[in-house]
Amino acid sequence: MSTILRRMPATLSEIAREAGVSAATVDRVLNERQGVKARTRDHVLGVARRLGYVSDTEGGEAGGGRPAAKSVRLDIVLPSGTNTFIANLANSITQLAAERPEADLRLHLMEGFDPLALASHLESLAADSRGVGLVGLDHPAVREAVRALEAAGVPVVTLVSDISHAPRAGYVGIDNRAAGRLAGYLLGRLHGRRPAKVALFAGSFAYRGHEEREMGFRHILAEEFPEFEIVAHTESRDDWERTYTEATRILSETPDLAGIYNIGAGNRGIARALEEAGRARSVLFVGHEVTEFSRRFLLSGTMDVAIDQNPRVEAREAIDRLLGAAKGQRQFTSFLVRMQAVFKENIPEW
């Protein structure tokens, strides 16, 4: 019995080394970006053909012409629901993918709190996907699905919230532990160093990002503001109506509540409860993300601070890294998106 040995396609790094240029230059040539001289472009395409990365019919006529972009099937899986930040992230992904003809992108919206359904869907993508981006629960079934994708040669990039103990090409998002520490520090400084009761809201602690924010928040309070007491701790599943119900109950049961930290979505529910209780100006409210709703709450004074991350930057970096990983660039460190504390005086323009 004879065995046919099939050479694996060259990576961008191998093409760059053979052509004597940087990997960034190779990426610009193969993805039809500007900023590369025609002579260099032709040279890189010639090397890519020789190494089998593109065929003789790809990349235009030899000696000139712009290359035809290779279509790379990518899939990004996001949780469905009323989370405005996720909706903004989905819009950014769709817009940026339309600007990248080499990316044949499918966007999937899944029930965010059903790990078994999510895992099953991820496994189904192994058949024809070249790269998967994921905002997913840190759950054994989801981790196993990520391992199965990686074993099938499909790189995975986690977004917004990372997944522990699972092989993946990288993570794109903020440092969530640092975000929780920042929230606690701001709440403590705004209130002052005197005893205070605070409430803690989260979407789901099954999201590693939410768990890390809680850990950071608790740690900074223990270190810097030991007189603060967390009197309420609830999960809203990122549903603003459920958050409203819980916030109304907590405000009724805790007339001396001094502050609220909302780790996840649902700012609308907390703001409504504060306004209806007539306590929008007496209870400090720190949350996440500048959206069409939180902008209004910041301006009215109902919300004091929003710790923001840029969904367009997150979408761009995720798509770029998925494309790179699909083409062989599997080694990159996690890209930490810059976060900022937004008050009503520094609300960014859209």
- Domain borders along the chain are 9-70, 72-174+311-337, 176-310
Residues 309 and 174: beta-carbon distance below 8 Å:
yes
**What was the pLDDT predicted at 333?**
65
Q: What is the DSSP string of 96-156?
A: HHHT-TTEEEEEEEE-TT-HHHHHHHHHHGGGT-S-EEE-----HHHHHHHHHHHHTT--E
Q: What is the pTM of this model?
A: 0.79
CA dihedral 44, 50, 51, 52 (to 10 degrees): 110
**What was the pLDDT predicted at 52?**
67
CA distance 146 to 161: 14
Q: Are strands 170-173 and 335-336 parallel, antiparallel or unpaired?
A: parallel
Q: What is the DSSP string of 218-242?
A: HHHHHHH-TTEEEEEEEE-TT-HHH
Query: Which one is the CATH code of 9-70: 1.10.10.10, 1.10.260.40, 3.40.1190.20, 3.40.50.300?
Result: 1.10.260.40
Tokens linked to 72 = 């790379």
**What was the pLDDT predicted at 263?**
96
* 87 conformational bin, left if phi > 0, alpha if psi -120 to 50, beta if neither: alpha
The arrangement of strands across the sheet holding 132-134 comes to 103-110, 72-79, 132-134, 156-159, 170-173, 335-336
**What was the pLDDT predicted at 24?**
76
**What was the pLDDT predicted at 65?**
43
Rounded to whole angstroms, what are the CA distances from 246 to 12, 37, 123, 172, 234?
52, 60, 36, 31, 8
Tokens linked to 155 = 């790189």
176-310 architecture in CATH?
A: 3-Layer(aba) Sandwich (3.40)
CA distance 172 to 320: 11
What residues in the chain have per-residue pLDDT under 50? 1-8, 57-58, 60-69
Each residue's pLDDT tens digit, 321-334: 999 888 877 666 68
Q: Where are the alpha helices (DSSP H) in the chain?
A: 12-19, 23-30, 38-50, 84-98, 115-124, 140-151, 176-191, 208-224, 240-253, 267-276, 292-300, 311-326
176-310 has the same fold as 72-174+311-337: yes
- Of the candidates 306, 308, 307, which has an alpha carbon nearest to the alpha carbon of residue 298? 306
Query: Which one is the CATH code of 72-174+311-337: 3.30.70.100, 3.40.50.300, 3.20.20.70, 3.40.50.2300?
Result: 3.40.50.2300
- Of the candidates 109, 159, 110, which has an alpha carbon nearest to the alpha carbon of residue 131? 159
